[in-house]
Amino acid sequence: MTPTASKRPLQLNDQGQLRHFLSIDGLPRELLTEILDTADSFLEVGARAVKKVPLLRGKTVCNVFFENSTRTRTTFELAAQRLSADVITLNVSTSSASKGESLLDTLRNLEAMAADMFVVRHGDSGAAHFIAEHVCPDVAIINGGDGRHAHPTQGMLDMLTIRRHKGDFSQLSVAIVGDILHSRVARSNMLALKALGCPDIRVIAPKTLLPVCVEQYGVRVFTDLAEGLRDVDVVIMLRLQKERMAGGLLPSEGEFYRLYGLTQQRLLLAKPDAIVMHPGPINRGVEIESAVADGVQSVILNQVTYGIAIRMAVMSMAMSGQNTQRQLNLEAGEQN
Ligand code: CP
């Protein structure tokens, strides 16, 4: 069934195709699977001598990062270049935003330079939705992480990593460990795993680092690491998001590591072929032992490589959805 215009989620067009990519919330399993399948085909492009396809030739992609980033910003840039787009990255710390220009005024000026797509990272939850509601309808918005709310391309690259290493989601136990409360990655991963049919999603954290009513995501909650890790196929470790903590949530980093740090010894509780993931940046000796981060079960750097393919998939699908919507609008205008 095609969603009606009034009920249609902001990020889909009248045909149910992606127009923006703001959140995994509400996206059907078929669409998430299409993103994974498309990304799989783009992984092959990354292995070629000439790593380019012409899908976004003539389009302009603008990265606007109001928060620091290494992996997301760089892999979005690479992904856009591999799709043959023209790419500009606005360094917000040296932009006129630092002189008091509002978020929308900054974007209006970039729109006036005929950007077709914005990749936005912002410290405020909901910033990407706000921008998508206010930019002109032909411009696609991709969320590169907004506050504690969502990091949907990280969620999807994590799903691609799990699918490539473990296969069918319907047989898996996945544990997400650490600072769930402040983590947009945890929220995106819980939603994606649920939508893709994972039957056993566990979150493991001290009570102070768990969101209220986290069970609503369809997860099992553990405060004991050993209990939660038992026989899992996938362990996703999270960084302590100290920049988002009000303080007083933890006695100390040392105490956190003692109770929740993933050591080689504790990893033995998971299945022998379990994989270890982390969105980065990792804090060695805080949430993860170096021997685990660099060990044979770690797929942390594979995640970064898969991130390019996922970002290529999302950008090409959103641009295709924008073009379809533009065509539908033109045809509707001709009929009126
Ligand atoms: N995983 C992630 O978002 O990393 P960056 O903050 O370096 O982009």
Amino acid at 229: L
For residue 242, name the pLDDT band (cuts at 50, 70, 90).
Answer: confident
For the record, the structure tokens of 204 come out as 């493991």
pLDDT (mean) for 38-59: 94
Architecture of domain 8-150+305-330: 3-Layer(aba) Sandwich (3.40)
Asked, colleague to colleague, whether 8-150+305-330 and 152-299 share their fold, the answer is yes
Average pLDDT, integer, range 304-322: 97
pLDDT band, residue 248 (cuts 50/70/90): low
For residue 142, list its beta bridge partners: 21, 119
**152 Cβ below 6 A of ligand 1:** no
Residue among 66, 64, 45 at smallest CA distance from 56: 45
Asked if CATH classification 3.90.45.10 holds for the domain at 152-299, the reply, yes or no, is no
pLDDT-based confidence at residue 101 (cuts at 50, 70, 90): confident
Give the mean pLDDT of 152-168: 98
| Band of residue 91 on the pLDDT scale cut at 50, 70, 90 | confident
pLDDT at 151 over 90: yes
Write the residue with the smallest CA distance to atom 6 of ligand 1: 69
Answer whether residue 336 shows pLDDT above 70. Answer: no
Which of 71, 89, 158, 308 has most ligand 1 atoms within 8 Å of its beta carbon, as the pocket-test mutant?
71
> pLDDT (tens digit, 9 = 90+) per residue, 109-123?
888 888 999 999 999
pLDDT at residue 332, rounded to an integer: 85
- Pocket lining: 154 vs ligand 1, CB cutoff 6 Å: yes
pTM of the shown model: 0.93
Kindly list the domain boundaries of the chain, sorted by start residue. 8-150+305-330, 152-299
pLDDT value at residue 325? 87
pLDDT at 247: 67
User: Do strands 220-222 and 234-237 pair parallel, antiparallel, or not at all (unpaired)?
Assistant: unpaired
Sign of CA dihedral 302, 303, 308, 310: positive
Give me ligand 1 centre to Cα 156, in Å: 14
Binding positions for L-aspartate are: 99, 184, 239
pLDDT of residue 7 exceeding 70, the answer is no
Residue 290 has pLDDT above 90, yes or no: yes
| Higher per-residue pLDDT: 9 or 273 | 273
- Region 325-333 average pLDDT: 85
Please determine, for residue 1, whether its predicted confidence score (pLDDT) is greater than 60: no
